[in-house]
Amino acid sequence: MRPTRRHAVALLTAAALPLTLAACGSDDDSETSASTSAAGAAATSTTVAGSCDKASLKLVNGGQLTVATDRPAYPPYFEDDDPSNGRGFESAVAYAIADQLGFARGDVKWVVEPFNSSYAPGPKRFDFDVNQISITPQRERAVDFSSPYYTAPQAVVALRKSDGARATSLADFKDVQLGVQIGTTSLDAVSDRIAPSKQPKVFNDSNDVVRALKQGQVDAVVVDLPTAFYLTAAQVPEATIVGQFAAPGGDSWGALLARGSELTDCVSRAVDTLRSDGTLDRIEQQWMGEAAGAPELQ
């Protein structure tokens, strides 16, 4: 799920932000993440073949691929508030898609598009947008999405001084008092992947989860990884991401395009190729893994 503000407000002063967990959805997104728009088979050549040849693409600006994201652009999705530098998870993904479509880095132009307006109905001034945008049925009625380039894993967050912060595996949390929000995929992940000996404390909303962690009512909390980045940077800076782990049901992000865009299938095919050849995994490991302070927990 994702709030109306971007959960990647990672570098803002914590005092300037309200007490609410970030997640990959907004108030309009009560429905769960959906499967994406139809994607063609992945191409085997460096660039996507057939009708997705660069010369045949219908672009907002001829000969130039226009990519949008919000501003400020925060790590680990973008580095130095500069999407054009290729550093950060989504910057790297965007350039990888561009490469699959036959565009050199100099042929990619970045524009600013506020998160909430990206999925509003109507024409777009970009070819596609990457901005941690969850794919939901409600949004799919107004815009197109590519195949998912990311599905959020779960993460364990603990106060730096706690015993939970020293854990190195999921088994280390068996006897730890965990906190989690009711009705979330995180609660399912705790039961399925950790199976703690202590019943986890279940809270009604995200504010209660944050409060419980800050006050030491629990030793650690389980949230999705994007929320964990936001929580440790802006809400509970005295906490740390102990690690991340895969679990079913996480929100999926896709490149957003105008409804009915002729580019949708081509971008999906590019994403599918990047997934099948391992490029997406490498980008994710580089920018969303241990280097970002979120090592894998087994």
CATH 3.40.190.10, domain 26-152+251-292, yes or no? yes
Full-model pTM? 0.81
Look at residues 11, 9, 32, 33 and name the one whose alpha carbon lies nearest to residue 21: 9
State the amino acid at position 164 in one-letter form.
Answer: G
pLDDT of residue 249: 85
Beta bridge pairs of residue 202: 180
Which backbone phi and psi does 108 adopt, to 5 degrees? -100, 125
pLDDT of residue 255: 98
Q: Which CATH superfamily is domain 154-245 in?
A: Periplasmic binding protein-like II (3.40.190.10)
Beta-carbon contacts of residue 1 (< 8 Å; ≥ 6 apart): 23, 24, 25, 29, 134, 184, 251
pLDDT of residue 11: 38
Shared fold status for 26-152+251-292 and 154-245: yes
What residues in the chain have per-residue pLDDT under 50? 1-47, 49
Domain ranges of the chain: 26-152+251-292, 154-245
Look at residues 241, 226, 246, 244 and name the one whose alpha carbon lies nearest to residue 131: 226
Token pair recorded at residue 112: 């600013």
State the amino acid at position 218 in one-letter form.
Answer: V
State the amino acid at position 6 in one-letter form.
Answer: R
pLDDT of residue 291: 87
CA distance 298 to 245: 7
Instruction: Identify the helix (H) or strand (E) that includes residue 207.
Output: helix 206-214
